[in-house]
Every structure is written in C-alpha cells, then in structure tokens.
Structure 1
Amino acid sequence: MRSYILFLLVGLSALFSCKEEIERPPNIVVILCDDLGYGDLSSFGHPKIQTPNLDGLAAKGMKLTNFYSAAPVCSPSRVGLMTGRSPNRAGIYDFIIGGNNPRLNNRDIVHMQANEETIPARLKSVGYATCLSGKWHCNSHFNNTEKQPTPDQFGFDHWFATHNNAAPSHENPNNFVRNGEEVGEIEGFSCQIVVNEAMDWLGKQKKDQPFYLQVTFHEPHVPIASPPELVAKYLPYAQNENEAQYFANVENVDIAVGKLVEYLEKNGHDNTLIVFSSDNGPETLLRYSKAIHSYGTTEGLKGRKLWTTEGGFKVPGIIYWMGQPTFNGETDAVVSALDLMPTFCELAGADLPQRELDGQSLTNFLKTGRMTREKPLLWAFYNALNDQVVAMRDGDWKLMARLKYDTAYLPKITNVYVGNIDSVRNAELVDFELYNLAADENEWIDLSADRPEELAKMKATLATEYQALLADSHVWARSETQ
C-alpha cells in the first residue's frame, strides 16, 4: 500500500511538472534589421546574397510573404512595433533627428513619451527579464534622462544601444551606450558586437526566468562596412565593390543570427519564439550622398524606403518557435509588426495596455498559418516620396490617397505640431488609387476606375479609419522648458 501511494505521488508530481513545463511562457527574441529589403534574403528571392541561417529559420518555421512594418521609415516603425499602435498615435511621424537645434516644427523634441506602454514593460510586469541590444532611435535627446526617457524607463533591464546609426560605420563603432554609460570604440562589426552583447546578457540570466530579447541590427543601413573576406567573396558577382559591400553586409547579419540561434539551442532555450524582420524597405541608391552602398532589392515591389507603396513597408518576415509545434511553411496571411504586442502579451499572460491597439494577437495564426484581420492596416506617412501619403490594406485590397487642403495639396511634412495641425486635420482624401494585391502585388494596375463598388467601399472604410487615427494622433507643442 505504501509503495502504491509513493508511486501515485511520483506520478502526480511528474504530471504537474509536465503541465508546468508546457504552460511556462516562452522566451521571446525579436530580431530587426535596418533598411533590409523584401528581396534581400536568398529565401525571399535574392539570386546572389547567401543567407543560410535565416533561410533555415524560415524552413523550420514560418515564412511570411505579407509581413508589414508599422511605417516606411525607422523611428515610427520601431515605436509601432514596441507599442502595437500606429506610430502617429505616439506622435512619431518620421525618423527622429538629434535634439540639439530647436526647429520651428518642434521636430527636435520628438520622442517616445513616458506614457507609452511597450512590449518589454508589459512582459517585465509578469516576470520576464528584458534586454535591448542594438539600435534604439526613439529619442531626439538620446541618453539624457533629464529631458527624455531612456530604454530602461520603457521596461528594458539591460540596454546596449546607439541613438541612430553605428558610427563612424559598422566597423569599430564608438557610439554605443550601455545602461547610460558610454562604452567607447569597440573592435569588430556592429551586428557581431550586438549579438555578442545579447549572448553575454543571456549567460547571466536565471535558467527558470523567461526573457525578452530585442536585437536591433544597424545593418544594412549606411554607413556600411563589411568584413573584407565577405566582400571578396561577392566581388565576382557584384556590379562593383559598393554592391559587394552591401551583399557582404547582409550575409554578415545572417552569420550573426546563426551565432545567436546556435547559442540558444546549445544552452537549452528550447521554448523560444524568434521573430525576424526589417524596420522598412531598402534605401534608394544615391538618394543622398552617403547612400553609395544601397543596393537593396524589393523583389519587384513598387517603391522603397519612405514610400507608401509595397516596397516601403512590405518586408521579409520569419517566425520560428524553437521546441514548439507551429504551422510550418510559407503563408500569405497579412501580418504586421503591430501584432507583436498583443501576441506576446497573450503568450506571456500579461495584461494588454489600456489604450487603442492597431495590432491583433497571432496565437491562432502560429498554429494554422491563417488569419483574418479584425481591422485594416493603415499608414499615414506625411513625408512620403510618392504622392499618395495615406495607404490602407483591407483583405486583398489596397487603397491609397493624396491629401488636399483648401485648393492645394498638403505639402510634405515631417512632424505634426501646433503650427500645422489644422491643415492636417482638415485635409481631404483625394486622388485615390486602388489595387488588388492578391493579383497585382507590384501595384501596376490601378483599378479605381474599373471597380466603382469596391472603390466606394474602400473609400468609406478609409474615411472612418483615417479620421479615427487623426483624432488620436499626438500633436507636438513646445513647453517653456523645451
């Protein structure tokens, strides 16, 4: 009898232990490239760049062919990802400049404000350890706690970051800050430095504590620098050395990702959800003087970084959940970086922020590879290089529009502030373009004249969604202390 009871207790103990293991929230790793184009990985169609580690993640997990960033430029894209909200709600309308010189449009004071709730803060509230390693670009006054919040105030236990780009280039950067302290020059290449920091942090964490790790590479944003041996590898296949530098830059990222994944596998992190993507589309070659290495590709999508066409914010997406059964293969479901906040909160058992979110949970999508969006995806990027600065995707359809105020088109603007808010709010949506992305992902055929019923339906939806976004968009006003 005593042996039977002992056997029963051991069995129950094993059962509860197994249940606890199954229900343990996953570790989460978000890996974000900077200016990586939709077609820059070999698994997404690049004929020359070799990315075996990322291709391997896509093969073992999920390859997302309709993954969208929150904006077609870096700062708003990053804020959108971390908050699950359109960056317009946070007042991040364009890339954030340094805050040393006051500007009439108040752009120098733009930053992610302290009241924004972020992924790391939500996960930290339920016991996660959190780390940022790489590019930040969410403050105009970087590492200045007196003027603006720093990454630790948004939930990062440990942060190792730069304001914007690695300087003077990806090689031997000297502008990293670790937990508020300037580090000085570091030997090596930025993506490897960033991964080494992440692995060093992981090695110091408790084995039984889940973690959130945000790895934000500077590559392949300019100023580009790549290992000479990788550049030499691509010289026979490139038009010139600058293009070989770009190809090598992307492969160097792939090597860094491979190193991080190998570390996770070897150290028993077998319940780790990995998400890989880019903050926006690729830079345009020679758009400005430093863009001499910008040979990224969109795989035929129209436009590039700073455009509201597909090439501006449709980016490669890969999800791999180590040690857990998920949908395996390619999916054309429409997924957004805005979806990460609600997804991670649900998986971790954290409460959602008590404010309007624009993303939705992907937990069922992870199992099936299919999803139906509860609300359209909307972008209002007022400084777009193309004319149609407002874009909305709803199902297979995409509608784009210009903004007209009074008798003229609204000029391109980099910030919404007290001096222009009236013109922004009163501008009219005009000059619509309509595309069926299921049949025409490259946006060649404008169907606005041929599909009047669909156009009317989409216009009505856009009017509702855009007005709701406008009403909740932050307006920057300079206080007496700024």
Structure 2
Amino acid sequence: MRRLHIKLTILILAFTTGIFSNQTTFAVEKESTPTPNFVIIFADDMGYGDMGTFGHPTIKTPNLDRLAYEGQKWTNFYVAAPVCTPSRAGLMTGRLPIRSGMCSGKRRVLFPDSNGGLPENEITIASALKKAGYATACIGKWHLGHHSQYLPTSHGFDFYFGIPYSNDMDRVKEGNYMEMNTNPKIDYFNVPLMRNNKIVERPADQTTITKRYTQEAVKFIRQNKEKPFFIYLAHSMPHIPLFRSKDFENVSLRGIYGDVIQELDWSVGQVANALKETGLDENTIVVFTSDNGPWLVFREQGGSAGLLSGGKGGTYEGGMREPTIFWSPGKIQPGVVAELGTTMDLLPTFAKLANVQLPSDRVYDGYDIYPVLSGTGKSKRDVIFYYRGTEVFAVRKGAYKAHFITQPEYGSNEKTVQDPPLLYNLNVDPSEKYNIAEKHPEVIKEIKQVLAEHLKTVVAVENQLEK
C-alpha cells in the first residue's frame, strides 16, 4: 500500500511538474519571439537599374547587395502610382490613392500652395502599429500634406524629422527650371526642415540631409531597443536637385547621381549595423524600395530603369516597378522572388505580424505577403493596376499586361486610347517591346473584365490634391 502511495505521489508530481514546465516554456517562447520591428527605407525617384544587385555596372552598392544576398530580392514589386504623393499614400494606407482622394490628373502631387493632404480617417502603417504599442518615427520626405492636420505626427507617428514635400519645391531663385535643378545651390530653394511640428532649418542644408536622416534613424533604434518600433526612413534623394555630403563627392564612376546612390547605400549600411549591434537584426524586417521610377527628363542626373521601358510619371514598367529588397536574418527565406508584390502589401503584412486587426469598414488593396517572405507560401496577388492620376492606364494580370491608354511621362497632355489595347507578356518581354494583342484576344477580354470589376469598387471622394 505504501509503495502504491509513493507511485501515485510520483505520478502526480510528474504530471503537475510537466504542466507547469510546459507553461513556463510557453511563456519563454512568447518572450523570445516578440512582435518584430519594421523599417521601411524609401528612396525618391530611384530607378529599377540603379543598384549593383539590379544590374548597374558602375554604381557600387555593397550594403544593399549584401542585404539582397542575405534576404530577398523582389523583381516584380510595384508602387501604387508613378509619382510621389499618390505612391506614398498607397504605401502608408495599403489602399490605392484613388480611394483616399490622393491622386489627380490636374495636379499630380501636392505643392507648397496645396491645402489638402492625407485624410484624418485614413489608417496608416504607423497608426495601426500604435495599437500594438509600437514606437513610430517618420524620418525624411513626407509629401502627404504639410499643414498641421496632415503631418506625420497627426497620422500615428511619435516623431518626425524631415522635409514636408519635395526638395525642388519652394524655389526662390528665378531662372530656367532645368538649369536651377541641374546646377543647384542650397539657397535656390526654401524647403523647410522640420522636427515634429516645428521648422528647425530653412532652407534645409541638403548637402548633409542624407547623413542627418541616417543619424536620426540610428538614434531612434538605440533609444527604442527595448520595445517594438516602426521607422519610415524616406530619403529625399535621388530626387533632383542632387546633393551629397563631402565624404561622397566624386566617389562614383556614375557622376553626382552615382555619388548620391552610394551615400544612400552607406545609410542602409548604418541602419543594418545599428540593428546588429543592438541585437535586433533577427527580429526586424527591413524593406528597401523607391517611390517611383527614374526622372528621365533629367538625363544623366536622373536614374535608370535598366531593361524596363519608361520612367517616373508614366505607366510603362519603368515608372512603377521598383528595385526592392526584404531583409531579416532568421525570418526571411533568402532568394530571388519573381511573384507580384506592391508597397500596398506592407500594411496588411505588418499588421498581421504585429497581431493588429485592421477595421473592415474600407477596401484594402494589399495582401499579407509574409508567407512569401518566410518561404512558407505563395503571394495572393495576381493583378496590378497602373493608375495615372485618377484613371487606370494599364492592368497586369499574371504575366500579361494590357495598356488601355498611353501618354508620355512629361511634356505632353495628349493621351492615346489603345483599341485594341497593347498587350505584353512581361515574363518574356519585360521591356514591353513586342505587342502580342492579335495573338491573345482572350487575354485582353479577361483583363477587361478584371478592370470592370475593379472600377465597381471605386467610390468618389473629395480630391485632396486639387484643394
């Protein structure tokens, strides 16, 4: 009887110890896998072919190349629009800019005399992550409204340091626009540099602005290493006018444009090093991409779309397909990804990883792409809409892209309605050279149906760019 009692006691102890042991292990697992940090590094007007890993022969980008090797290089990644303001609205909200009134055929972006901005009822990546206790910082170019109610601090960001619109705006020097921007001086422009809601420098010293953005980002990482954080590091460069610091003068074979890109690459290295030094690299997802393609009218002071056709302002591939890298050692499966993705996919992906439930009272145009990042699944995205202003100029479905309207990026308001639409197989012909519409009328029919269904979801709202 005594032996039976001892055995029962041992079994009870083993059972209860097992329960508490499992509970403790579970708690440790929860603590050892906190919600990830997020860093978006957003270049301005950088082309698909402007870094080493995407094929540029003379611009050296060792830090970006390393991140691409250690992480994922996406070769079919798009933005929501081919110019600054609507592209940034799409990234921030996970929605096409037509849904928030942040696009226009009359004024393609916001200007210093604009009275509109991103509506207060829009949910940004920052405001969504704030619900999960994230510290949030916007560093760099905003361009979603410069009045107080539209600034980053009114859209979920705890901290803002940057310029409220493009670095070529507020030009005070009289003369030819092209000349002023290709042979610039700091005092030709009166662009303000802001810290939170206050102007701290005007005109902004653009020769040191890339370094200062970088310093602020590294500082924010170190200050918030004990809590989850989101940093939106939106560089002003390589948007013209081009400026770089003395340390990067004449370092590139590509001239001043190459110097600017190589300083941006240095900045990426500084951010990555700060994450490693603080031990946060394995729990931080870093995304590098650009807001639109290269501004080709500025020739050698503009970038290159590589083998893609077109550039900034247009709906050919070079205007909206961007060089993109995802990096997070241990979280992201290294490789080259040819599946479709867009900047609008970042909000739902980050929200899912941060355990944030997005409200169901609006249409989202993004998808959770973490299955692709982690190597555990496929992208749900099969369609890209190429908006220019408030109109859809082209649609991609799978490998095929149909152009319904074409128009030069700049210099002409003349539109050409393509009937039948131009059709390209982008997997075979990424340069959009060979129109195959006659061979595939069934594909055009299918894409037309996709467009018709999409347009049913678009509801008219107040246009913010025309205020």
TM-score tier, shorter chain, comes to: 0.7 to 0.9
* Deviation at residue 377 of structure 1 after TM alignment: 1.6
Q: Is residue 174–residue 186 contact of structure 1 (8 Å, CA) maintained in 2?
A: no
For 1:203, what is the secondary structure of its paired residue?
Answer: helix
Q: CA deviation at 1:403?
A: 8.9
Superposed displacement of residue 16, structure 1: 2.9
- SS of residue in 2 equivalent to 1:233: coil
Change (3 A) 1:332 1:477: closer
What is the 5 A alignment of 1:254-333?
254-269=265-280, 270-284=282-296, 287=297, 291=298, 294-322=301-329, 324-333=330-339
Closer/same/farther in 2, CA of residues 320 and 9 from structure 1, 3 Å limit: same
Task: Identify the match of residue 394 of structure 1 among 397, 402, 408.
Answer: 397
- Could you report, residue by residue, the CA deviation over 1:302-328 in whole angstroms, capped at 9, with x for unpaired residues? 100011010000010100113x24321
Distance 2:422 2:375 in 1: 33
Give the Cα–Cα distance (whole angstroms) in 2 for the partners of residues 190 and 412 of structure 1: 38
User: Which runs of no fewer than 5 residues in structure 2 stay unpaired?
Assistant: 1-9, 172-183
Aligned twin of 1:39: 49
* Distance of 2:116 and 2:97 partners within structure 1: 12
When normalised by structure 1's length, the TM-score is 0.81
Provide closer, same or farther for how the CA distance between residues 411 and 252 of structure 1 changes in structure 2, counting only shifts above 3 A: closer
Measure, in 2, the Cα distance between the counterparts of 1:33 and 1:326. Answer: 22
Aligned to 2:232: 214
Larger C-alpha radius of gyration, 1 or 2?
A: 2
Residues 162-173 of structure 1 mapped to structure 2, 5 A cutoff: 162-166=163-167
Q: Which moved more, 1:295-304 or 1:13-22?
A: 13-22
In the alignment, residue 468 of structure 1 is paired with which amino acid? Answer: K
Q: How far apart, CA to CA, are the structure 1 residues paired with 2:418 and 2:119? A: 29
Alignment partner of 1:472 is 2:464: no
Q: Distance in 2 between matches of 1:31 and 1:8?
A: 46
- Call closer, same or farther: CA 1:330–1:374 in 2, change over 3 Å: closer
SS at match of 2:438: coil
The AA in structure 2 aligned to 1:339 is D
Give 1:421's aligned residue.
none
Aligned residues: 430
Question: What is the 5 A alignment of 1:165-244?
Answer: 165-166=166-167, 175-184=192-201, 189-205=208-224, 207=226, 209-234=227-252, 237-238=253-254, 244=255
Alignment partners' CA distance in 1, 2:67 and 2:238: 20
Distance 1:116 1:57, change over 3 A: same
| Range 71-80 or range 291-300, more displaced | 291-300
Deviations 1:86-118 (A, max 9, x none): 011111115433353xxxxxxx33311111111
Relative to structure 1, the CA distance from residue 32 to residue 170 in structure 2 (aligned partners, 3 Å threshold; closer, same or farther) is: farther
Task: Give the counterpart letter for 1:399 in structure 2.
Answer: A
Q: Deviations over 1:19-65 (max 9, x none)?
A: 11354110011110000000000000000000000111000000101
**SS in structure 1 of the partner of residue 76 of structure 2:** strand
Return the alpha-carbon distance in structure 2 between the equivalents of residues 348 and 216 of structure 1.
22
Aligned to 2:111: 98
Q: Which string of whole-angstrom CA distances, capped at 9 and with x for unpartnered residues, describes residues 248-293 of structure 1? A: 1000000011011101110121300111100000011xx3xxx365
What is the identity, as a one-letter code, of the residue corresponding to 1:264? L
Alignment match of 2:363 (pick from 349, 352, 356): 356
Q: Deviations over 1:393-430 (max 9, x none)?
A: 111111111299xxxxx9679xxxxxxxxxxxxx9985
Say yes or no: does 1:338 pair with 2:350. Answer: no
Q: Is the 8 A contact 1:403 1:430 kept in 2?
A: no
CA distance in 2, matches of 1:6, 1:25: 30
Q: What is the letter of the counterpart of residue 160 of structure 1?
A: F
SS at match of 1:115: coil
**1:417 paired residue number:** none
| Offset of residue 383 of structure 1 | 8.4
Q: Distance in 2 between matches of 1:457 and 1:200?
A: 51
1:442 paired with 2:442, answer no
